[in-house]
Chain A
Amino acid sequence: MKKYLILFFVLLPALGFSQPPNCNVYLYNKDTVQYEVCKSIENVPFYQYTKEFQEEFDKAIKKCPHFAFGYQAKATAYLKSGDFLTWKYLIDKAVEYDTLPYIGYRGWCKYQFFRDYEGAIKDIEFAEKRFGILNAGYSAAGDYHLTMAKAMCYSALGDKQKAIRIMENLFTVTDYVVGLFDYYQLAVTYFQVNDLNNATKYLDKQTAINDLAENRFYKAKIAKINGNSASFEKEKSEAIRLYNTQKILFDPYTEHLNKVYLNTIAQEQYAN
């Protein structure tokens, strides 16, 4: 029981790492100083960008210099404002003082905000080794598993075959729940290596779980390659319709890998 309790507390931040930690974990580990500062910031009523928020967390860190969550919380506004220098200093402190809950998160942020593919892969692989693939963690918004993110990094670096192997392998992991955009990302990777059969297979799977304008755009491209003009027009038209109803790859902070824009869809012609 004790083992499972420890595992629960260790995994909790890794699975929902943008959330404040459960302060009881510190008490359980007899770290009363960290428990007290954790309690003191539980309901900080300020927006993370504000000076008041930063000062509250500075006070907590002053009382407990190894309060890893404090550094992560302070880092968030710098991340969102694109200040990679300050963000990296702060998030490295969080990872230094409590590696496991924050290293996967750091890896995701390196990918999402700074397209640092190599840095992201390194951090995610560390998390995978310690937690196993299934429990490596998720992106900050929860829409990608970190192993999926790692595969996307390899894809962006040009190693498409490795990306495909990682994604296919992930889908075979027991209890893995396929993400909202997983099939699309795999389909596009197959498309990029001219494996149109597998691309079509996964575009169809994506349509079944979460249809997207981008998904239909690639279906149209395949229809064009296959010389099927009626299918091309149908898929293109559906892509535009979905785009106009906001059924698209979207994130309020950054852009998804393999995002396709409305103008790109509209300009795609059967003849060109």
Chain B
Amino acid sequence: MGHSFYILLIFLLTTISCKSQQLTEKSAYIKSVGDIAHDKTLDKKEFYLCDAENIIQYHNDYQGLQYKGEKIALVNTFSKKYVPTNQEEDSGLIRIRFVVNCKGETDRFRLIAMDNDYKGKNFGKKVTRQLISICKSLDGWIPKKLDGRAVDYYQYLIFKIKNGQIIEIMP
């Protein structure tokens, strides 16, 4: 009887221990790939989201990038405002991802960059500061709807840079 009691006790302790381990084990992921959490050191305090828990992707409505005057309008803005650095080391791709809210306003800009071999790299600040600044100035984003409901969405722009000049803008 005593022997069985100890076996049961060990079993229960092991089970509880495993469960508590599962409960405390953190996922390596945030809610969705590419989610951007609010950062009070970087982002606007007053940025409004219609539904902060359900920010969709720009392609979820099958309408693609939606900008007043189409993509060429924002490409022209970069052509006018961006000053090339003409530095050979400023080559590769830069992605700036951000949120467009249900009113067409933007915030939560985040940047990643790579060289031409898909290796992470740091571009010169003369490039990145300009790109971020021009991105923040873009005011033609068209609010999206999904099933008739106004939604917030993630958008990104990728800049193909060669010798400090913008060669192409994606998507």
Q: CB within 8 Å of B: which residues of A?
A: 47-51, 54-55, 58, 77-78, 80-85, 88, 113-116, 250-255, 261-264
Contacts and interface: CB of A to CB of B under 8 A. Distances in A.
B70 A81 contact: no
B27 A55 contact: yes
Interface in B98-138: 112, 114, 116, 118, 120
B112 A85 contact: yes
B62 interface: yes
23 contacts: A49-B32, A49-B33, A51-B29, A77-B33, A81-B97, A82-B156, A82-B158, A82-B170, A83-B34, A84-B93, A84-B112, A84-B114, A85-B114, A85-B120, A114-B158, A114-B160, A116-B116, A252-B64, A254-B64, A254-B170, A255-B171, A261-B70, A263-B73
Contacts, number: 92
B33 A78 contact: yes
A81 B34 contact: yes
Nearest to A54: B29
Contacts of A254: 64, 170-171
Given A82-B97, A255-B65, A255-B171, 19 more contacts: A48-B33, A50-B32, A51-B27, A51-B32, A54-B33, A77-B32, A77-B34, A81-B33, A81-B97, A82-B95, A84-B93, A88-B118, A115-B160, A115-B168, A251-B64, A252-B62, A253-B171, A255-B170, A261-B72
A113 B171 contact: yes
A264 B64 CA distance: 19
A55 B118 contact: no
Given A80-B57, A114-B170, A263 B70 contact: yes
A252 B59 contact: yes
A114 B62 CA distance: 20
Interface of B: 27-34, 57, 59, 62-65, 69-73, 93, 95, 97, 112, 114, 116, 118, 120, 154, 156, 158, 160, 168, 170-171
The 4 closest A-B CB pairs, nearest first, are A81-B34, A51-B29, A77-B33, A88-B118
A137 B168 CA distance: 26
A83 B69 CA distance: 26
Contact of B33 (A83, A113, A116, A263): A83
A60 B30 CA distance: 19
A194 to B, nearest CB: 24
Contacts of B171: 82, 113, 253-255
Contacts of B34: 49, 77-78, 81-83
Given A85-B112, A85-B118, A255-B71, A113 B27 contact: no
B118 A80 contact: no
Contacts of B33: 48-50, 54, 77-78, 81, 83
Given A51-B29, A77-B33, A263 B72 contact: yes
A81 B31 CA distance: 14
Nearest to B97: A82
A262 B93 contact: no
A58 B65 CA distance: 31
Nearest to B154: A81
Contacts of B70: 261-263
Contacts of B156: 81-82
Contact of A51 (B30, B114, B168): B30
Nearest to A87: B118
B63 A252 contact: yes
Nearest to A262: B70
A80 B64 CA distance: 11
A51 B170 contact: no
A58 B97 CA distance: 25
Nearest to B171: A254
A213 B114 CA distance: 36
Contacts of B27: 51, 55
Contacts of B73: 263
Scoring B65, B70, B156, B171 by chain A CB atoms within 10 A of each residue's CB, the highest score goes to B171
Nearest to B121: A85
B165 to A, nearest CB: 14
Nearest to A264: B72
